[in-house]
């Protein structure tokens, strides 16, 4: 399994935290974000 570390700028981290939701795990949120950038997997 290939692992890629993403370094998010502080404004992006804050925005992602503002959208946090108890219905979605961090893994589900990450999977959704990765779908936005399909070539980056």
From first to last of the 41 residues of the chain, give the pLDDT tens digit: 677 777 878 887 777 777 766 787 777 877 787 788 766 54
Distance, in Å, from the CA atom of 34 to the CA atom of 21, rounded to the nearest integer, reads 17
pLDDT number for residue 18: 72
- Alpha carbon dihedral 39, 2, 27, 35, in 10-degree steps, equals 10
pLDDT of residue 40: 52
Q: What is the pLDDT of residue 39?
A: 63
Would the CA dihedral through 7, 10, 12, 14 be positive or negative?
A: positive
Query: Which tokens belong to 1?
Result: 């399994």
Grouping H, G, I as helix, E, B as strand and the rest as coil, residue 8 is coil
32 CA to centre of own chain: 7
């Amino acid at each position: 399994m290939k692992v890629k570390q993403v370094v998010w700028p502080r404004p992006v981290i804050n925005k992602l935290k503002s959208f946090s939701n108890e219905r979605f795990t961090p893994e589900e949120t990450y999977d959704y974000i990765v779908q936005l950038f399909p070539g980056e997997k």
